[in-house]
Structure 1
């Protein structure tokens, strides 16, 4: 099982790798900068080399870099859209020091301009910033459908992917809390949800899972994560997700409301309940 959690980059990349190993994880996720925006700290080459060596030595799974929440390429505010371009360009360039990394982002909110316009602007950002040479795979995150979010429906993600030029560099990160809140019943009809994903997007595009429980009931469109087994998704559904034949080989990244010790407990629990393969 490839399982990790969200860690802070403040003490460096190699430190995150060591921290992940200390809690039983074999991958991790981190924000490329402050999640509310701001400038990006330069990568220390020696720190990057140390992490790359650690990943090879301990056979760590792909790490996942998360764009800030404030990134919104389909905002009505031109300054916000410019910031999205700046962040994408900086992050994709910086992440090349970690070959094979995933770069996850929330597609954005159209703020009244309409889904079609929002999708067009997201595609424009991706085609402006992505290149055929990059090793990083960009992941569209499934959203809960809060407000005017784009990406809560599989059809919207497909429309974005169809417009992207470098299709071999684009995929999807399925967030369990988000899809459940969006109205995809992964508790009672997981097989049907995955079949629908495959029909609309293609399971070959599914690269990673954000593994979270939900504080809110089905189809609530709220997006509030809960600790594993303590929300409306629940323990038994989480076990089915991590052991599903179509999902079990993917990397899982916890974004539950936890400190490091809490993540360690969840990782231990998930490992104990995963079926070897």
Structure 2
């Protein structure tokens, strides 16, 4: 299995002070290739771990699958490093009845970076997928106090971040503020795919009574992923982009940003957040 954490000797330098050598822990980042049969579909950079969740969530976000039974199997296949060791960096996925089989002749032929979930797509129209679920106005209503506690709860559960300081996190909460699923990755979109993929594989979609809390900013792609999974509320500790707010407004999703313990900015569909004056 690929390594979530790697160790490296570094030089610690301080202004006006002495320099010294120490060992530092780094978050792992390796490519993951997704294949259908023997044909490569795409390659994405990610932190190894929860790879099947990542593949399931990614294929759901791409509109290829909507339910767990449409992904009939996943397995690691050939892939070795320079020493001949299995890298676990290639997954072969088998699609079942009802899946939207992609045109593999137009498969992505670039590596998607861990910073971008839509690199390699041909146009914004290709990204703007239509969700299978309608977000109802009363879905996911949550008390403001519970919502404000979610970033701290998420941070307290981030074991990989504690070790490396170099990963994003996404957490799925219920409306009582209980953390249900936590995933970490060098890519914020990967962390979200892993969360949604885990829920999909458990046949829990749509996630109508849930909140998605993320450790960074709220981007267009994260709004898209949340909406497609039926998640009515997306909360971030940093700012949303203008396009994220426009998409959230359009699809009926509540987007919150700058969640900082005592205050939060509500950008769209604020009626779901109870206890505001």
TM-score using structure 2 length = 0.30
TM-score using structure 1 length = 0.30
The answer to which structure has the higher helix fraction is 1
The answer to which structure has the higher strand fraction is 2
